[in-house]
A = this chain, B = another copy of it.
Amino acid sequence: MPDTTHTAVTTAVELLGESTSKTNGTLRSTPKQQTLKPSEPAELGSGKPKKKYRHVAALHWKNQPSCISHEAAVSPSFLGFRNLLVLVVIVMNLRLVVENFMKYGVLICISCHDVRRQDVVLGALLYALIPIHLLAAYIIEVVAAQQARGAIGRRQRSDAGVRTPENAKDRREFNATWTYIAVAHTINASLCLGITNVVVYFYIHHPGIGTLCELHAIIVWLKNCSYAFTNRDLRHAMLHPTSPNLLPEMYLACPYPQNITFQNLAYFWWAPTLVYQPVYPRTSHIRWIFVMKRTLEVIGLSVFIWLTSAQYASPLLRNSLDKMAILDLPSILERLMKLSTISLVIWLAGFFALFQSFMNALAEITRFGDRNFYGDWWNSTDLQTYWSTWNKPVYHFMRRHIFSPLVGRGWGPQTASAMVFVFSGFLHELAVGVPTHNILGVAFFGMVVQLPLIMITRPLTRIEGITGKVIGNCIFWISFCLVGQPLAALLYFFAWQAKYGSVSRTYHA
């Protein structure tokens, strides 16, 4: 049977032409549809003889498959379903908001926070005293710089201007001095971390205040280390000059030991970086409007995080306690899944508040030019990419002061990388375990378990096409945001409650 005939086509086109103005409203019309309606809308009621018999139009005039069949030449766009997905997420969460309100009413309560006086005083004192260790590091470096200047002077006097290459005596001399300085730095830095740990663990009950102090101590400790290591290399380079110059050329603007000034250290103290450089790229002026906007973002997001935690996360955590106690696995799973969305939202808000808003505001105030605080980690297709892009300040520290030196000493990159994660796990456990007074090892384990996960996800990035990348990206989201974080939160909260009961007065009733 002939598939189509001219008249049938014309009639169908004319009839369907009337609907062209509606049908081309789809987000993307398939070429198949376009062949059906190529003409402009025919004027209606024009009384053309062709239109006399309106009940006979051949609407079925050719063989064609359904548009989502495999036989269809062009598969249609599914963009509308993406919009639906976004709407469904909004509606589902809006429902949970309504449900939460009907169940609990408003849980937000400023006066309910049970903050002890001792916590506030001790916390403030600790917070203010931690930077003293940076001052101590500065004094150590001043002494070291004087020694180095002395050595240069002695050498210049004895050699009368003739430069000799580095010899065994030189190295012995440098190493002996470095040993004393290194010991001084180690004692200073260890005290910084040690004192904070002891005070927070034993004397600061409130986990929030404890976390602030602990994080501050860790940051100052890392800055301390970077300051010491960098100046060691700068000093060595000054004592043993080579041609070509082995130092970054931008450092020529402030060569060692000119960088050992209090002002230079103070800038490093406030600059949004953990990596010490004598010279940083700087902007020409402070845009105060920019600072204001970022500050408002920090405030807005902090309030948002507080409201979300108080209204949604905390009743959820509380409700999971009895299920955790009797190890009711389906219920724990259900709690974990409910918690995962909330912790994800809090995490994303926190990331934005800290790495985009706060760090940019701080960088603007300090005229710090390099705002590369994070990459597009949300697209990570393997976990290594995530860990090297979400927190660039820490990543930079780890590469410059742990990974790179270890590799320089002959370690394999895998082993050096493992070392970085073990060290990072140690810091994470300090940051979480000490303020919650529960060294569970979960945070440590969470970091160390990244190593096998990295091994698993690495081959996925090598798969041709997008499939492997999407799988890798999903593994990243699931392992990190949908399982790892809420599970860790649940465990530390459970351990806290088991040890102390609630921190808030509302729940004592």
A interface, CB within 8 angstroms of B = 1-8, 11-12, 15, 18-19, 22-23, 25-30, 33, 44-45, 49-69, 76-89, 91-92, 94-95, 98-99, 101-102, 226, 229-230, 232-234, 236-237, 242, 245-253, 273, 275, 277, 279-283, 330-331, 333-334, 337-338, 340-341, 344, 355-356, 359-360, 368-376, 378-382, 384-385, 388-389, 396, 399-401, 403-405, 407-408, 410, 413, 461, 469-470, 472-474, 477-478, 481-482
Contact = CB atoms under 8 A, between A and B. Distances in A.
Contacts of A49: 242, 246
A279 B63 CA distance: 13
Q: Which of A58, A273, A399 has the most CB of B within 10 A?
A: A58
Nearest to A469: B27
Nearest to A240: B52
A78 to B, nearest CB: 7
B470 A83 contact: yes
A473 B19 CA distance: 19
A166 to B, nearest CB: 11
A88 B91 CA distance: 13
Chain A interface helix/strand/loop/mixed: helix
A277 B59 contact: yes
Contacts of A69: 356, 360, 371
Contacts of A82: 82
A101 B59 contact: no
Q: Which of A280, A281, A469 has the most CB of B within 10 A?
A: A281
Given A22-B382, A59-B277, 18 more contacts: A3-B369, A15-B400, A15-B404, A18-B404, A18-B407, A28-B379, A30-B376, A50-B246, A53-B236, A58-B277, A60-B275, A61-B281, A65-B371, A77-B376, A77-B379, A83-B470, A89-B89, A95-B338
A66 B8 contact: no
Contacts of A279: 1, 58
Nearest to A405: B54
A7 B396 CA distance: 18
Contact of A83 (B15, B374, B382, B473): B473
A423 to B, nearest CB: 16
B56 A230 contact: yes
State the oligomeric state as a number of copies: 2
A333 B98 contact: yes
B400 A477 contact: no
Contacts of A404: 15, 18, 54, 57
B84 A376 contact: no
Nearest to A466: B27
B372 A66 contact: yes
B2 A250 contact: yes
A440 to B, nearest CB: 25
A63 B407 contact: no
16 contacts: A7-B250, A19-B388, A53-B237, A54-B233, A54-B400, A55-B400, A56-B247, A58-B250, A58-B251, A60-B275, A68-B356, A83-B470, A85-B86, A87-B478, A92-B337, A101-B330
B84 A477 contact: yes
A101 to B, nearest CB: 7
Given A54-B404, A101-B330, A242-B49, A1 B78 contact: no
Contact of A66 (B237, B248, B373, B379): B373
Contact of A331 (B60, B67, B102): B102
A369 B247 contact: no
A338 B93 CA distance: 10
Contacts of A4: 250, 281
Nearest to A396: B59
Q: Which of A51, A79, A236 has the most CB of B within 10 A?
A: A79
B378 A78 contact: yes
